[in-house]
Amino acid sequence: MRMDGVLKLYFGESNLPTPDYIKRAAAAALEEGYTYYTQNAGLPGLRCDLAAHYAKLQGVTLDPDSEIVVTASGVQALNVAIRCVLDPGDEALVLTPAWPNGSAIVRMDNAAPVEIPLTLRDDRYAVDFDALEAARTSRTRLLVYTSPSNPLGWVATEEEQARLLAFARRHGLWLLADEVYDRLYYRTPELGTPAPSILRQATRDDAVLVSQSFSKTYCMTGWRLGWLVARRDVAERATLLNEFIISHATSFIQRAAQVALVQGEDELRRMLARLRDNRDFCLAALRQMPGVTLPSPDGAFYVFPKIAGLTDSFAFCLRLLQETKVGIAPGVAFGEGGEGSVRICYAAERSILEPAMERLGRFLERAWV
Ligand SMILES: Cc1ncc(COP(=O)(O)O)c(C=O)c1O
């Protein structure tokens, strides 16, 4: 972090600043007096806009009063969701490689994460349902997965979602889907179509929870705003719990987020076009490099190449950084199944990506293989 001149591809955020129309909306909200306490579940207007968004983009009907809780970030949504459904001593199945916070929050609740790696078949990761069945015990209460995935870019198919839901129903488990990257999805001909939410397949009585965020879709990482969709009983608990953690997300930021939801589609599509080009550029560059196996990423803004013979991805990334000033994330940071790969975040300018890919290629040729 202290080294100068590093080509930084290790963080999970875009280099783009928050769009001006959102910044202006926040300033206007301050002027309009959104400086007071609001409801623990968030501004009613924002919850209504979120429900309208689900109706339009996912074809899902949600009750804004009882099934949506606004949180101060995606990670806070994950935190309250997990906290509401686990008791000390419980176990949670977590599909990995994954952003490590899910497993960490399970541990913070004195429960045990049991990480189940996705398996790489040809160029696609897939859920290992046999491993899930084998790992379940009488203490298992929760299954957590992330789609689109950080770090894989993997997106669960609707068939995989149906089987995850069936597994959760069969064993009486909570199913928590982290869908913070749902709008960063490149498989459909028209950019802006979201990855399908698990909510399309669940009924409102299912034990299903979805954590969400404004961070990635609207370049609002520093603003700290997200939401949780949950069955009524959990949404009610999460609302109560919010009181003792943050009480509620910042009022004027919630107001700005309403504007993002209503006005953000054109800007989002421009960002997606740029991200898809970046992804294709990185994939083409990585395909030329020796010893690289490349799972095809359909969402988020990461590629997760596997490097032949790599057994210490941390040492690899450190040497790459020291010798070439390219900063990428070691696969080992993402739990079971992550070692042997590295994560590259391609949400950066081409003036960073191009030299970074060139240096990585030369490093692999010279020093690694
Ligand atoms: C999978 C996943 N979930 C949640 C988050 C958290 O997002 P937020 O900034 O809203 O806390 C991240 C951030 O990197 C993430 O990768």
Instruction: Indicate if the pLDDT at residue 43 is higher than 80.
Output: yes
> What's the whole-model pTM score?
0.97
Residue type for position 268? L
Q: Indicate if ligand 1 lies below 6 Å from the C-beta of 146.
A: yes
Residue type for position 32? E
- Ligand 1 midpoint to CA 181 (Å): 8
Q: Indicate if ligand 1 lies below 6 Å from the C-beta of 12.
A: yes
- The fraction of the chain above a pLDDT of 70, given in percent, is 99
pLDDT band of residue 77 (cuts 50, 70, 90) is very high
Q: What interhelical angle do 265-287 and 350-363 show, nearest 10?
A: 20
| pLDDT tens digits for range 227-258 | 999 999 999 999 999 999 999 999 999 999 99
Distance, in Å, from the CA atom of 12 to the CA atom of 77, rounded to the nearest integer, reads 18
Distance, in Å, from the CA atom of 148 to the CA atom of 179, rounded to the nearest integer, reads 7
Distance, in Å, from the CA atom of 235 to the CA atom of 47, rounded to the nearest integer, reads 12
- Ligand 1 atom having least distance to the Cα of 73: 10
| pLDDT tens digits for range 120-167 | 998 899 999 999 999 999 999 999 999 999 999 999 999 999 999 999
Order of strands across the sheet with 208-213?
A: 68-71, 226-230, 208-213, 174-178, 140-146, 91-96, 112-117
Distance, in Å, from the CA atom of 152 to the CA atom of 185, rounded to the nearest integer, reads 13
- Ligand 1 atom having least distance to the Cα of 213: 10
Q: Indicate if ligand 1 lies below 6 Å from the C-beta of 39.
A: no
- DSSP H helices, the chain, are 20-32, 44-58, 74-85, 101-108, 129-135, 158-171, 232-245, 251-263, 265-287, 313-324, 350-363
Q: Indicate if ligand 1 lies below 6 Å from the C-beta of 193.
A: no
**In 3D, which of 247, 192, 240 has the Cα closest to residue 217?**
192
* Cis amide prior to 97 (ω within 30 degrees): yes
- Ligand 1 atom having least distance to the Cα of 78: 4
- Phi first, then psi: give them for residue 181, nearest 5 degrees: -100, 20
Taking a C-beta distance cutoff of 8 angstroms, is the pair 165, 208 a contact?
yes
Q: Indicate if ligand 1 lies below 6 Å from the C-beta of 71.
A: no
Q: Considering the chain, what is the average pLDDT of its residues?
A: 97
- Ligand 1 midpoint to CA 153 (Å): 14
Other CB atoms within 10 Å distance of the CB of residue 150: 26
- Phi first, then psi: give them for residue 111, nearest 5 degrees: -115, 175
